[in-house]
Structure 1
Amino acid sequence: MITVVVPLYNKASTIERAINSVLVQTVENWELIVVDDGSEDQGAELVSRYNDKRIRLIRQKNSGVATARNVGAKAANSSVLAFLDADDYWATTHLENLEKLITEYPEAVLYGSAYFGVGEDGVARKIKFSGIDELPIRLLITDYFMTVVENGYFLFTSSVAIKKEIFEDLGGFPVGVKSGEDTLTWARLACQGDVAYTKVATSYYMLPNVSLGERKNFLRRPQIPDYVGSELIKLLDSSIKNKMSLQKYIAYWHRIRAMIFLELNERANGYFEIWKAISHDHVKLKDILCCILLLLPLNIRAYFLFNIRKMRGRA
């Protein structure tokens, strides 16, 4: 059996779609735990209306998404956990897709599928990663860090599964992290073993409204001090086989932070993150371009970045 954990906070408009996508799974041996994290809307009431013994609702005061996921995982009765955010949803074969991975690669520490991004127009487009797309349908990724550096984050929370024992030994998701708790969790797992991945896309990620005028309102300011970055550095002291890749991965993390600060017009913080990236990796063209963009007026910079995202299909 697989336990599906859904953290819920003010998602009354989408929680039924998420739950319904679990109800129609081709795999029927599952349980669904929805952890209401102190919602102020009717989301929890909508969950309580489902007449299915496999669905449980846990209520708690608002403590954050990491705590909600950890509470759900602790209450799980099965040995495998799958996570689904309340505004995302799955194809009918998602759990079947993950079960095939678990059967084929029982030694993996993390399992995940490719996924679709659903834009404002409601159209689902598969998020493509050129280096991975050329590989077999199902594969074992032995160097997670370099794979991310070369392709981008090919996993997201609603596309992964993990064995409960491994999740508990890890300590769950780090609590109190405003952004990047999943990034740190997958990195910690990758230090322990390999990641099993399937190119069959069966999860759907609802892309936020990031039109030119609303982009800044969507962005979450990177946490200062950088807890995730400091914890990633600690992983370098562990006995892992891909330390050089981890160095580049840490640089990749700082480059992402630099881009966010760039869009928030926080020049000093942007330059600092570029310097941190270079300290873990050599100077790249994107570092130079980022520095140039930081010199441009905010409106010109925002327009330039919007068009880059649009060309990549992620605007």
Structure 2
Amino acid sequence: MKVSVVIPTYNNEGTIAATVESALAQRFEAKFEVIVVNDGSTDSTRGILAKFGDRIRVIDQKNSGVSAARNAGIRAASGEYIALLDGDDTWNEDKLQKTAPVLDENPACAAVFSDVMQVDGAGKEYGTWVSPEFQHSPTLDEMLEWPWPNLPSATVIRRETIMAIGGFSEEFGRRGYGGEDTFAALLVRERGEIHFVPDKLVRYRLSDFNGNLAKRIRSRDSNQSGIDQFEEPERLSDGLLIFARLVREHFGARGRKLAEWAIDKLANELIAVGMTAMHEGDRTLARRCYRASLRYRPLMLKTYFRLGWAMLPAKVAGMLSPMLPPRLRRSLSGPPFHGLPDRPQ
């Protein structure tokens, strides 16, 4: 078996069929298999997977997080190479054809990644993911300078390499979103080169950050148990804290800049959650988020202004708001502007 395609999925009922179809549709001469790890989905994902029959192998497990799901698929794989594909992304038909041979032809290459086309839920294209300054094979020092934009769905790795690094760190757990793939890529680069293919071979689905977060805030119970879900707002992005710690532990001083990036991103995400909470009328949650952000970045002066605005009684803020310039009003009352997701600029 040349390639094992590993697809982790959790509640992807709206996208998983297209994802699997794109894997099965590969124009690839060598033999490959498709392994889907159902990470405890509670929607109709499992039923959709069943319709593919023996064209794919499905592994069911309790909800344990994307790292554990990928690792389960990798352990079950028989391919020489592991091709990762997330449950809401799709491949072009020539994805494997243009990436796997790079590993065949370059013994020193541990992994290969391609460029990516970003799309929204309606299929509208938002341009390339890998900006020009990152369109090359990175050194480890470059990857420790800034998170390299090699998305999992765009990556093919030698199985022996991913096994040697212990797979994806399961310290990230079920809630530890953000960083597990970037940390794994650093460990892979320690063991070999990571080559770049300039073709856009993946369609990466952008999420609606504002809309999804607003739904979560609106759906909270008004009782104390509902409020406690956001008692420690930084847990919404605790993967970044885990990532920063792992980078410091493994790379020491070399990893300081990348660890600082993760903390900056955490502080900014907390501000974004706070602004969304303000926009939804949840001033209590907004104050928690701003205070949490300041614990990590106490010199961000604008956050103090936002916290002060959130501490005003809603009626007072409502009276003052029309007097503010539109940009300042949005900066204080949200929602945050989120176009494309964070990436190197």
| Structure-2-length-normalised TM-score | 0.73
Q: Please name the residue that 2:237 is paired with.
A: 222
How far apart are 1:121 and its partner, in Å?
A: 4.0
Give the aligned partner of residue 93 of structure 1: 94
Structure 2 distance, partners of 1:253, 1:311, is 14
Residue number in structure 1 paired with 2:45: 43
Higher Cα radius of gyration: 2
Q: Is 1:249 aligned with 2:248?
A: no
What CA distance in whole angstroms lies between the structure 2 residues aligned with 1:310 and 1:163? 30
After superposition, the Cα gap between the structure-2 partners of 1:311 and 1:224, relative to the gap in structure 1 and judged at 3 Å, is closer
SS of equivalent to 2:236: coil
- What TM-score do the two structures reach when normalised by structure 1? 0.79
Contact persistence 1:293–1:301 (CA under 8 A):
no
Q: Relative to 1, partners in 2 of residues 1:162 and 1:313: Cα closer, same or farther, differing over 3 Å?
A: closer
Q: Distance in 2 between matches of 1:70 and 1:253?
A: 24
Residue 306, structure 1, aligned to residue 337, structure 2: yes
Match of 1:171 in 2: 166
Once the 2 structures are TM-superposed, how far is the Cα of residue 108 of structure 1 from its aligned partner? 2.3
| Residue identity matched to 1:208 | S
Change (3 A) 1:208 1:41: same
Contact 2:145 2:257 in 1 (8 A): no
Equivalent positions of 1:74-89 (< 5 A) are 74-89=75-90
Question: Does 2:16 align with 1:6?
Answer: no
Q: Deviations over 1:66-91 (max 9, x none)?
A: 11111110011111101111111101
Instruction: Give the drift of 1:305.
Output: 4.5
- In 1, the alpha carbon distance for the partners of 2:183 and 2:137 equals 20
| Alignment-derived partner of residue 232 in structure 1 | 247
Write the distance in 1 (CA, Å) between the matches of 2:194 and 2:141.
Answer: 7
Contact kept? 1:145, 1:187, Cα under 8 Å: no
Counting aligned pairs with the same residue, the percent is 24
Letter of the aligned partner of 2:12 in structure 1?
Answer: K
**Aligned equivalent of 2:204:** 205
* Residue pair 1:188, 1:235 contacting (<8 A) in 2 also: no
* Equivalent-residue separation in structure 2 for 1:252 and 1:310 (angstroms): 18
Contact 1:37 1:62 in 2 (8 A): yes
Cα distance in 1, alignment partners of residues 59 and 77 from structure 2: 12
Deviation of 1:205 (Å): 1.2
Q: Does 1:156 align with 2:151?
A: yes
CA distance in 2, matches of 1:81, 1:305: 37
Structure 1 consecutive aligned stretches of length 4 or more whose deviation exceeds 3 Å:
143-148, 213-220, 296-299, 301-305, 309-314
Runs of 5+ in structure 1 lacking a partner? Answer: 134-138, 238-242, 276-287
Inter-CA distance 81–167: structure 2 relative to 1 (3 Å threshold): same
Q: CA deviation at 1:215?
A: 4.7
SS at match of 1:41: coil
After superposition, the C-alpha distances for 1:79-115 in whole angstroms (9 at most, x for unaligned) are: 1101111111101111112123313433123321111
Could you say what secondary structure the match of 2:337 adopts? helix
Asked if structure 1 preserves the Cα contact closer than 8 Å seen for 2:85 and 2:152, the reply is yes
Instruction: Name the SS for the 1:172 alignment partner.
Output: coil
Instruction: Measure, in 2, the Cα distance between the counterparts of 1:291 and 1:186.
Output: 34
Q: Contact (CA 8 Å) 2:19, 2:89: kept in 1 or not?
A: yes
For this pair of structures, how many residues does the alignment match? Answer: 285
What are the equivalent positions in structure 2 for 1:249-268 lying under 5 Å apart?
Answer: 249-265=258-274, 266-268=289-291
Unaligned runs of 5+ in 2: 217-232, 275-288, 311-329
> RMSD across aligned C-alpha pairs, in angstroms?
3.1
For 1:200 and 1:148, the matched residues in 2 are separated by 24
Counterpart residue type for residue 302 of structure 2: I
What is the match of residue 273 of structure 1?
296
